[in-house]
């Protein structure tokens, strides 16, 4: 499939039409969606209208945006007016949002065409898309393996050439981890860079919306289109979208890169080897390389599994059978709410709500939630110290290549460990990119993670571009 950059250029010049590109995307979806279960809903009518609107503007000689006519897949936890939005949960089945997420409005302004809604782990809780109430998504590169999660559907849409780009959300790794497992690029932007208005909240102090794409340039294009201040999100950074596309070819000459011991510790040997080769490639391109240890990283997973469930237990209280989606009738209001939540939430969501409620309960608040917040502060300080010595950090995105279905479903801890390298950045509210670099067992892709301080996206994407070239994708 053509890149987003190429489609936009050709639509702008009249070489192709938004409608033709959309029909190509629909054809790719109908070829493999039955097998892979990537899209929960394809918005045929809405997308065709959007594409026709772009084509009409081009025909009239009116300006169209940087993503003109580019088909895009949307993770099904982002609200789009009138389009079913489920979070892959039975509790929201049949619900159609009465408003657009800010990112959906920004995509429309940029001329992108929203093709449909992609599968995820229920309420974005998981690392394999096996927690979806509507069946798992399969990895397009090997359908016996998971695509990662929770943005598994969005990653698979791009990897299967159904759309060149997709939106995901990353609370503890949900963009970077599936990007790594599907062999594509994924960006977790700085907290506050992209509006969360209309993203159905999981853990509000960690959630960020971001791009998944085949190429670094396409992720820069998409991130630039959706980023920038939004008065409707109180955590939104007070500045306009950064310039990213213009810096993609900046290279890494003169940058200090630190290979972080704790960001490869316990990874499979083939993953460690890929990270070492990627580090060498950055050195070849003119970066100075050092080794660094950030022991606080070892505490991140435990802190995350208190903070994220605590926030989730509060955020998910709104699904009460009164306001949205499912209602299971019972003899009084309390019984109705209990019956609705019992029937509507899956096992992992219930586990998180219980963990979070416990961590926040009066007798345990200081011991659990309070402690986790202290760890988070240490984490932020530790990264700040590291960024005095290095401009970028490098490590693995995931400990292994894509794993098989069922391999980790019986042991929640094993599943949680999939995100051991991605979670620390979320706790610090900083930026990170996963970029494919080499392959491992079964010829499956390995993702290398680049991390930077807040607002370092341009630098991260430029470094990711160096790795993309070194890995043979000029």
What residues act catalytically?
75, 150, 174
> Which of 424, 324, 316 is closest to 376 using CA atoms?
424
Contact 189, 223 (CB under 8 A): yes
Contact 202, 315 (CB under 8 A): yes
- If 0-12 CB within 10 Å is exposed, 13-18 middle and 19+ buried, where does residue 114 land? buried
> Which of 394, 449, 417, 426 is closest to 266 using CA atoms?
417
SS3 433: strand
Helices (H), 115-237: 152-159, 176-182, 216-226
**55 versus 348: smaller Cβ distance to ligand GLN:** 348
Cα 338 → chain centroid: 31
Distance CA 464, CA 294 (A): 22
**124 versus 193: smaller Cβ distance to ligand GLN:** 124
Distance CA 327, CA 92 (A): 10
Q: List interacting residues with ligand GLN (CB under 6 A).
A: 124-127, 150, 170-174, 202, 308, 419
Shortest Å distance, C-beta 177 to ligand GLN: 7
Distance CA 402, CA 418 (A): 10
> Which of 287, 255, 264 is closest to 387 using CA atoms?
255
Shortest Å distance, C-beta 170 to ligand GLN: 5
The radius of gyration of the chain's CA atoms, rounded to the nearest angstrom, is 21
**125 versus 394: smaller Cβ distance to ligand GLN:** 125
Shortest Å distance, C-beta 300 to ligand GLN: 12
**212 versus 252: smaller Cβ distance to ligand GLN:** 212
Shortest Å distance, C-beta 379 to ligand GLN: 16
Shortest Å distance, C-beta 76 to ligand GLN: 13
Shortest Å distance, C-beta 154 to ligand GLN: 12
Distance CA 136, CA 150 (A): 11
Cα 67 → chain centroid: 19
CA dihedral 455, 253, 383, 125 (to 10 degrees): 60
Contact 209, 184 (CB under 8 A): no
Residue the block writes with tokens 């505490």: 299
**124 versus 466: smaller Cβ distance to ligand GLN:** 124
**17 versus 190: smaller Cβ distance to ligand GLN:** 190
**172 versus 399: smaller Cβ distance to ligand GLN:** 172
Shortest Å distance, C-beta 194 to ligand GLN: 14
């Amino acid at each position: 499939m053509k890149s987003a950059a190429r489609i936009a250029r050709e639509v702008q010049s009249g070489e192709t039409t938004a409608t033709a590109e959309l029909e190509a995307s629909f054809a790719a979806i109908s070829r493999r969606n039955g097998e892979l279960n990537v899209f929960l809903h394809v918005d045929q009518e809405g997308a065709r209208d959007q594409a026709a609107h772009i084509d009409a503007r081009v025909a009239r000689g009116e300006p169209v945006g940087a993503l003109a006519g580019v088909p895009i897949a949307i993770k099904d936890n982002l609200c789009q007016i009138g389009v079913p939005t489920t979070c892959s949960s039975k509790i929201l089945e049949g619900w159609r949002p009465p408003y657009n997420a800010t990112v959906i409005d920004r995509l429309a302004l940029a001329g992108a065409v929203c093709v449909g809604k992609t599968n995820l782990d229920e309420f974005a809780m998981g690392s394999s898309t096996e927690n979806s109430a509507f069946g798992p998504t399969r990895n397009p590169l090997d359908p016996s393996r998971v695509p990662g999660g929770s943005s598994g559907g969005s990653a698979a849409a791009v990897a299967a050439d159904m759309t060149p780009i997709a939106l995901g959300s990353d609370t503890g790794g949900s963009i970077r981890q599936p990007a790594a497992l599907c062999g594509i690029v994924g960006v977790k932007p700085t907290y506050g860079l992209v509006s969360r208005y209309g993203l159905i909240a999981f853990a509000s102090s960690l959630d960020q919306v971001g791009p998944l794409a085949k190429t670094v340039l396409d992720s820069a294009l998409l991130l630039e289109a959706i980023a920038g201040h939004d008065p409707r999100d109180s955590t939104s950074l007070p500045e306009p979208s950064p310039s990213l596309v213009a810096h993609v070819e900046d290279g890494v000459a003169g940058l200090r890169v630190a290979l972080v011991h704790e960001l490869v510790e316990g990874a499979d040997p083939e993953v460690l080897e890929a990270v070492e080769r990627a580090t060498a490639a950055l050195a070849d391109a003119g970066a100075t390389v050092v080794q660094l240890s950030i022991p606080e990283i070892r505490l991140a997973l435990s802190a995350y599994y208190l903070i994220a469930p605590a926030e989730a237990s509060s955020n998910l209280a709104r699904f009460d059978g009164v306001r949205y989606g499912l209602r299971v009738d019972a003899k009084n209001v309390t019984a109705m709410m209990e019956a609705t939540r019992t029937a509507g939430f899956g096992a992992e969501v219930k586990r998180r709500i219980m963990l979070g409620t416990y961590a926040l309960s009066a007798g345990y608040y200081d011991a659990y939630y309070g402690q986790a917040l202290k760890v988070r502060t240490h984490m932020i300080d530790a990264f700040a110290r590291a960024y005095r010595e290095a401009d970028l950090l490098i490590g693995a995105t995931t400990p292994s290549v894509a794993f098989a279905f069922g391999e980790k479903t019986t042991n929640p801890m094993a599943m949680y460990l999939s995100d051991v390298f991605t979670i620390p950045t979320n706790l610090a509210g900083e930026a990170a990119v996963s970029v494919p670099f080499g392959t491992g067992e079964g010829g499956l892709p390995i993702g290398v993670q680049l991390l930077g301080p807040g607002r370092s996206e341009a630098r991260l994407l430029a470094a990711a571009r160096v790795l993309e070239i070194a890995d043979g994708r000029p």
